[in-house]
Structure 1
Amino acid sequence: MKVKVESSRIVRPRYEDGAAAETEWMPLSVFDTVTYSENVAIIYAFRPPNPPSAALEDGLARTLAVYREWAGRLGRGPDGRRAVLLNDAGVRFVEATVDAPLAVAVPFRPSPEVKRLHPTIDDGPVEELLQVQVTRFSCGSMVLGFASNHSIADGQATGNFLVAWGLATRRLPVEPLPVRDRSTRFMPRDPPIVGFQHRETEYKVPAQPKKREADGGEVDYEVDYEEEEEEIGAAAHDKIKVHKVHFTKEFVARLKARTSSGLPPSRRGYTTFESVVAHLWRAVTAARGLGAGETTNIRLSVNGRARMRPPVPRDYFGNLVLWAFPRCDAGDLVSRPVQHAAELIHRAVVVVDDAYFRSFVDFASSGAVESERLVPTADSNQLVLCPNLELDSWLGINFYDLDFGGGCPFFFMPSYFLMEGTLFLVPSFLGDGSIEVYVGLFENHLNEFKKICYDIA
């Protein structure tokens, strides 16, 4: 697929009254600073007719006037805390073309080629917090590549922004307006109540420099392993592949029925999320060949909006995600029925409630992170997670509601993301309740996973 970039420019907020907004610092919340500090890219595909780029750019400028953070720049405020400078510096808007029909040119499957459909995010820090690429094809179809900094917004907030962009492009009011109080909403309690373990959960002690004895002497000295780690990472990188699995509506229904069989009548059955994740956890563990005596865990994102009390509005703009970590002996996980895995997931997620979120706020605001030099466990520099997994579910996010005037997208997918042990759950573009799963594993493990991923044990 040959993508020709036609133009690249900065789009700044456009205010209805024409007056520029005041420049100010907005501190990041504790949830913003504990999440992955990386750029994340997603891909949309639209059938014709599609609006001209001028209309998309105008709608983006109007939306940025409401979601100012995207047009700002990350830095440290006057108090030294990480913050967004709301200076309306703008976002990047790229126009590109492909001299071929969409159906012929675009691989609607995990492939490095899809990375050509969004601005580059792999070449180090990017100044703009949001970049978009509009690629038009000879058939009139359009692909939107959306790349954004995760420190600014989680999936829920990003989905809300995209819907707002569609409304603004159609000259409709942006409703409801985002809730933009990240710097004041999550205040620690007085006195603080840290009732859960947050060290080695959301935070960890950074790895210490390794030492090695010098030849012919007894003095240890520090060794720089950065070059060695890069070589190991490059070798692993070449062996990791991403595969898309399609679970039909019927398969999901059978899986839920199997997972919930045997529960007492008073007990609610396991959810789609719990059932599907339990099945995937067992299948990946089996495909990896992990056995008894080796512990495996899975990092699951938990949205705090509905869990905190009082609930945080769905339109809150920022990050509000923590994680649940169900864990199990690998041999036990595979040998016992899927209900066992689903119950481990259910219990781990239930614990991440209002009390847990409040405890995290108190701990993260206590000064312990700074004094102990703790760093987030959410580390995007990791390349291999085996024997563990990380799963992000986008099943409840309104990504398919984006409409620029020609209708909603007919396809949606994450970019090609190479990290062994990562899984993305995405609602199928068929809109019938089926699910797409993007699975990143070592190639030999992935081949085994393909053989067993549709077996309901």
Structure 2
Amino acid sequence: MPCEPITTQMTVTPTTTTTNDDHHATQIISKSTVFPSTKSTLPYLKLSTSDLPMLSCHYIQKGNLFLDPPLPISTLVSHLQNGLSTTLTHFPPLAGRLVTDSSGYVYISCNDSGAQFVHADATHLSVSDILSPIHVPESVKSFFAFDRMVSYEGHFNPLLAVQVTELKDGLFIGFSVNHAVVDGTSLWNFINTFADVCRGVKLITKQPCFTRQSVIISPAVLKVPAGGPKVTFDEHAPLSERVFSFTRDAILKLKDYTNKKKIIEINAAEVMGKQSNDPINEKVTALLIGNWIRNAVVSKTEPEISSFQSLCALLWRAVTRARKFPNSKTTTFRMAVNCRHRLEPKLETLYFGNAIQSIPTYATAGDVLSHDLKWCAQQLNKNVLSHDDMTVRRFVKNWEQDPRCFPLGNFDGAMLTMGSSPRFPMFDNDFGWGKPVAVRSGRANKFDGKISAFPGKEGGGSVDLEVVLCPETMAELEMDQEFMQYVSCTSSGEHC
């Protein structure tokens, strides 16, 4: 496949994508294929035990919302196309296609077939139309290409599509990327690099690593059903979606509460107060101080619950309450973990591909609600801490004994699945006119109980949770006082 010209413009009859919340629709202005500016020299890249299960998942759809750039749209589109062409030389797999050999092994062929670039118009919408509603409007789903496309289709379609959608006073850049090719770490490294290139950065310091020499590269063969795998959840079930924001202060308050730090501080104050105001009762004071020190030492021997685990536990309790289960019902909180640093020897930090595994934590509804927040967080914490090199390898072995696609969904009505990460650099994307004002995602891989974690716009440890639930459960969650007391209603940090 030739690498020149950089883009091949397709003849496109303007089309519209219908939305449910307005009388207009997003209109496709043009589609083009963008090729890498230099030819790839990479060999076929074999899909790993973390890649192959994703063949039944939708393409990942993530994007950034920007205020109006100071450039004519035609200039901007050309600028982004040229930047994408250069960026693809650093990420050749994203300009390739999937191939399956005669033995059933699936590879990425870095054959320079190109990525899709879409220019769309939604100038009937403003930035506030996206950000102001309590629930994420349906119009956001039209900002992404490859709607509901399953990753196996990467055999016949581009592995990457970039859609630039004009708004009345802003712009949305949406990325649709094959989930059998990237996880969140790889995706955001690509997007960050794309932004750097467009901004004129010459030296790319975070080069992806394409090695395929590790335990997750397996001789096991995934048997694909005729016609290719399908998603394992109802794509058309009614859902309610909301982004809940948590300020840095709220997160720290929650973390301290989960770790019982406030109680220890109060005990210390009481002891010191007795020591200074009641010198006669020195023996009692000494005993109090000794007890407090022993309690503090014991507490220090327990692993500290992280702020994110505290937040997950808070959500687990609130959604379990909202779903109104009997005490005996088993609930599941599933978290995706990055395996790059867990393996020995470690994978490169910028290893390109999926290097994630999904950790389930189980507890009955009665246990989740009768124990305190710390207990719930400790169950999550134990599983995360124990997921070491041996556990990663055991997951690989288990998959090799039964190769299958990942069963994504909420099969018993009592599951929560946490994806993405507040550590991903989602706001570090300045394409030349400023950083984004929000992160949003498309329709991909969404079902009752799917949660995605984003960093908050203000940074500093703030977190946004994109929560997808059935409408009835969402309505209950929004009335849950334990949960909502930590949620910020405004950009100034006012709490609901």
* TM-score, structure 2 normalization: 0.75
Contact 2:189 2:206 in 1 (8 A): no
The one-letter amino acid of 2:432's match is G
The residue that corresponds to 1:151 in the other structure is 180
- 1:349-377 superposed Cα distances (whole Å, 9 cap, x missing partner): 11211111233344545xx33xxxx423x
Give 3-state SS (helix, strand or coil) of 2:30's partner: strand
Q: Give SS of 1:146's match.
A: strand
Matched, 1:116 2:163: no
Q: Which moved more, 1:406-415 or 1:99-108?
A: 99-108
Of 448, 453, 464 in structure 2, the residue corresponding to residue 436 of structure 1 is 464
**Cα offset, 1:79, TM superposition:** 4.1
SS of corresponding position for 1:113 = helix
C-alpha contact (below 8 Å) 1:233/1:383 kept by paired residues: no
Give me the whole-angstrom Cα distance separating, in 2, the residues matched to 1:96 and 1:65. Answer: 25
Give deviations 1:172-220, integer Å, cap 9, x for gaps.
Answer: 2322211011x3233679xx9xxxxxxxxxx9999xxxxxxxxxxxxxx
Q: 1:42 aligns to what? A: 62
Find the counterpart in structure 2 of residue 257 from structure 1.
Answer: 256
- Is the contact made by 2:140 and 2:440 (CA closer than 8 Å) also made in structure 1? no
User: Quick one: which amino acid aligns to residue 252 of structure 2?
Assistant: A
* Residues 423/101 of structure 1: CA separation in 2 closer, same or farther (3 Å cut): closer
Normalised by the length of structure 1, the TM-score is: 0.81
Indicate whether 1:348 and 2:383 are aligned.
Answer: yes
Deviations 1:255-281 (A, max 9, x none): 111110177133342101110001101
| Unpaired stretches in structure 2, ≥5 consecutive residues | 1-23, 225-230, 264-297, 487-496
> Aligned-pair distance for 1:414?
2.1
Equivalent in the alignment of 2:29: 6
- Say whether 1:291 aligns with 2:326: yes
Distance in 2 between residues matched to 1:334 and 1:387, nearest whole Å: 14
CA RMSD after TM alignment? 3.0
1:232-311 equivalence runs, <5 A: 233=234, 237-238=237-238, 240-261=239-260, 264-311=299-346
Question: Which of 430, 438, 444 is the matching residue for 1:411?
Answer: 438
Which aligned pairs between 1:307-322 and structure 2 lie closer than 5 A? 307-322=342-357
The answer (yes or no) to whether the contact 1:24–1:87 under 8 Å persists in 2 is no
Call closer, same or farther: CA 1:251–1:416 in 2, change over 3 Å. Answer: farther
CA gap 1:282/1:30 in 2 versus in 1, 3 angstroms: same
Alpha-carbon deviations, 1:112-141, whole Å to 9, x = none?
2101111132266461111111112343x2
Q: Report the AA paired with residue 161 of structure 1.
A: F
* One-letter code aligned to 1:47: L
Which one has a bigger Cα radius of gyration?
A: 2
Q: 1:337 to 1:55 in 2, by over 3 A?
A: same
How many pairs does the alignment contain? 406
Q: 1:390 aligns with which of 417, 430, 439?
A: 417
Distance in 1 (alpha carbons) for counterparts of 2:335 and 2:222: 17
Aligned partner letter, 2:158: E
- Is 2:97–2:111's contact at 8 Å kept on the other side of the alignment? yes
Question: Structure 1 CA distance, aligned partners of 2:387 and 2:419?
Answer: 16
Moved over 6 A (4+): 203-206
Q: Which of residues 49, 61, 83 in structure 1 aligns to 2:107?
A: 83
Supply the distance in 2 between the matched residues of 1:431 and 1:333 (Cα, whole angstroms): 30
The CA deviation string for residues 258-309 of structure 1, in whole angstroms up to 9 with x for no partner, is 1101771333421011100011011101100012111111110010122222
For structure 1, list consecutive stretches of 5 or more residues without a partner in the other structure.
193-202, 207-228
Q: Which amino acid aligns with 1:283?
A: A
Secondary structure of the 1:401 match is coil
- Identity within the alignment, %: 24
Map 1:45-60 → 2, pairs under 5 A = 45-49=65-69, 52-60=76-84
Confirm or deny that 1:31 pairs with 2:50: yes
Given the alignment, which residue of 130, 135, 146 partners 2:160?
130
Asked whether the equivalents of residues 75 and 85 of structure 1 are also in contact (C-alpha less than 8 Å), the reply is yes
